[in-house]
Amino acid sequence: MALDHAILVSLLEKPGSGYELARRFERSIGYFWTATHQQIYRVLKRMESDGWVDVRDVPQQGRPDKKEYSVAGPGRDALSAWLHAPIEPESVRHDLAVKIRGAAFDDPAALIGEVRRHRQAHTDRLEHYRAGEARDFPPSGADGPPDAERELQHAVLRGGIAYERMMIAWLDDVLATLARFEAGR
Amino acid sequence: MALDHAILVSLLEKPGSGYELARRFERSIGYFWTATHQQIYRVLKRMESDGWVDVRDVPQQGRPDKKEYSVAGPGRDALSAWLHAPIEPESVRHDLAVKIRGAAFDDPAALIGEVRRHRQAHTDRLEHYRAGEARDFPPSGADGPPDAERELQHAVLRGGIAYERMMIAWLDDVLATLARFEAGR
DNA sequence: TGCAGCATGTAAGTCGTTACATGATTTC
DNA sequence: GAAATCATGTAACGACTTACATGCTGCA
């Protein structure tokens, strides 16, 4: 289970509240992990009672107070142990692929709208990632020593971009395949 | 939830026992959905009591008897309803990406072996898919009317192939990034 | 007045994973 | 004699989703 570790990594990058973590999971972290606030609060509570994170009450003006979490020693140790242990290459789950194979027993052409919707969603995400890349990782000339945190974040973002591009190309392929059955009915 | 529907599609393609379904999920269906036999037996039992599938006892020689499941009318209707309802473009979960971002706070070079292992696993899967493609979808000249079941299965397989290729290219990118920190320690 | 954003939570139910359990046959 | 394959299950636990719940501030 990696939600614990995803939260630890995010808190190492920058301490924050459960709410802030939930927003990060909606945005930048969202391209490799998703989590709702309910999950996050539960895990934060558990990690707090296990001594993996420290909490600090932060009073705010014009806003509800918040609890700022940061990673404690045992949490860092737990993350390190997980980083050094091998994980299995994960399995994929694509609802849309189930639908595409299922369409053979229903009406293939009826799926065209749905596939277009998904294609649009992936186009939007790609745009979003590319905007983030342009903002956070501008092309740089010769500069100082490489910054591991930045470069690894960028590498993960490039993975998100590659994924969206692959999906768009594949959905175009699927649309071309479906079109053959639209005429052939 | 799509496990129900994945099972229905598989049974429409060919009726079979829980055990056979589990093997199909390990193989061809595995490139877009995974399920263990425990899950499958539970869902089959539920679908049977809901009247979505029919069961037939098949005695065998030299092997334990098996129960062959096939899709019943209500199951087909349920699948059809699901096919016509929109689903949300699914969220991604990559443990390995969590590790890569986490490596910035540990030892980036220590991750190289792990990333290589994953690259190998994706290379193996790609080989497996390509062998399946060559076997089941040989290049054909001009032939009869297009067969929806075959062509859609092929389109999904092409998606699996595109996914593995993308992953291999991205992991090479990650390895190049990690290598920069091996020297710079 | 109403909506969006900030901030934290509880409860119920489903889904998925891991471990345990059995027993026959075929292959090395 | 051991291991792999065929075949079906139960039990327990942990993860995830969905719905419900509260309350304050800022803006149109």
Q: Which of A5, A83, A117, A157 to mutate to test the interface with B (most CBs of B within 10 A)?
A: A83
Q: Is the CB of B19 under 7 A from strand D?
A: yes
**What pLDDT, on a 0 to 100 scale, did the predictor assign at position A184?**
52
Residues in B 14-73 with any Cβ partner in A closer than 8 A: 30-34
3-state secondary structure B101-143: HHHHHCCHHHHHHHHHHHHHHHHHHHHHHHHHHHHHCCCCCCC
**What pLDDT, on a 0 to 100 scale, did the predictor assign at position B168?**
98
Q: Is the CB of A22 under 7 A from strand D?
A: no
The mean pLDDT value for A18-24 works out to 96
CA nearest to A175, candidates B128, B159, B10: B159
Distance separating alpha carbons of residues B63 and B58, to the nearest angstrom: 11
CA–C1' nearest nucleotide, residue B55: D8
Distance separating alpha carbons of residues B89 and A88, to the nearest angstrom: 24
**Hey, which residues does B70 pair with through a beta bridge?**
B54
**What pLDDT, on a 0 to 100 scale, did the predictor assign at position A142?**
62
**What pLDDT, on a 0 to 100 scale, did the predictor assign at position B76?**
96
- Averaged pLDDT of chain A: 92
Query: For chain A, how big is the Rg over CA atoms in Å?
Result: 21
Distance separating alpha carbons of residues A32 and B75, to the nearest angstrom: 34
CA nearest to B96, candidates B123, B126, B121, B118: B118
* pLDDT tens for each residue of A61-111: 888 999 999 999 999 999 999 999 999 888 788 999 999 999 999 999 999
* pLDDT tens for each residue of A122-160: 999 999 999 999 999 998 766 677 799 999 999 999 999
Q: Which residue ranges have CB below 7 A from strand C?
A: A 17-20, 22-23, 37-38, 41-42, 44-45, 60, 63-67, 91; B 1, 3, 34-36, 38-39, 62-64
Contacts of B97 in chain A (CB under 8 A): 31-33, 156, 159
Distance separating alpha carbons of residues B109 and B181, to the nearest angstrom: 6
Mean pLDDT by 10-residue block, N- to C-terminus, for chain B (185 residues)?
92 96 90 92 95 94 92 96 92 91 95 96 93 90 80 96 97 96 65
**What pLDDT, on a 0 to 100 scale, did the predictor assign at position B141?**
66
**What pLDDT, on a 0 to 100 scale, did the predictor assign at position B140?**
76
pTM of the model: 0.94
